[in-house]
């Protein structure tokens, strides 16, 4: 998912670099997979059932199952609601997920703030 590009582009004056370049789609896919994994981990630590989590978070259990399986992305609102229902800080979870997804600059890689 991560493409390493060593060397310059078409510009003959460009110098070789060892920069890591991640396309937007690759970063988004990697981050969604990592978010699902972090949510599964948070659920395991909380030791509650998905249906109970759904009630606490006001998110349908079907949506949660699809998110946890990686069948659909989690929305920002869902992520916040799911985290809060487990007593988890959403930003901390996103930070862990960005590390898991191997985004070189953490959440800033995905948010375009690198």
Q: Is residue 2 part of a domain?
A: no
Q: Is residue 14 part of a domain?
A: no
Q: Which residues contact 32 (CB under 8 A, 6 or more apart)?
A: 70, 73, 74
Structural domain tally of the chain?
Answer: 1
Residue 34 scores a pLDDT above 80: yes
CATH number at residue 63: 1.10.260.40
Q: Is residue 8 part of a domain?
A: no
Q: Is residue 66 part of a domain?
A: yes
| Res 27: pLDDT | 80
Q: Is residue 92 part of a domain?
A: yes
Q: Name which of 32, 61, 36 is nearest 49 in CA terms.
A: 61
- Say which residue, 44 or 103, is predicted with more confidence: 44
Q: Is residue 6 part of a domain?
A: no
Percentage with pLDDT > 70 across the chain: 69
* 8 Å CB contact between 110 and 103: yes
Reported as a single tens digit per residue, the pLDDT across 52-99 is 999 999 999 999 999 999 999 999 999 999 999 999 999 999 999 999
Q: Is residue 16 part of a domain?
A: no
Q: Is residue 82 part of a domain?
A: yes
Domain that holds residue 99: 24-111
**Dihedral of the CA atoms 65, 67, 69, 70 (nearest 10)?**
160
């Amino acid at each position: 998912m991560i493409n390493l590009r060593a060397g310059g582009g078409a510009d003959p004056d460009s110098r070789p670099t060892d920069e890591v370049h991640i396309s937007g789609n690759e970063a988004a896919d990697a981050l969604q997979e990592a978010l699902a994994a972090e949510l599964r981990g948070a659920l395991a630590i909380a030791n509650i059932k998905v249906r109970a989590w759904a009630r606490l978070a006001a998110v349908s259990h079907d949506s949660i199952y699809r998110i946890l399986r990686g069948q659909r992305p989690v929305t920002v609102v869902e992520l916040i609601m799911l985290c809060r229902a487990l007593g988890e800080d959403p930003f901390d979870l996103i930070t862990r997920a960005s590390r898991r997804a191997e985004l070189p600059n953490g959440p800033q890689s995905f948010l375009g703030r690198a």
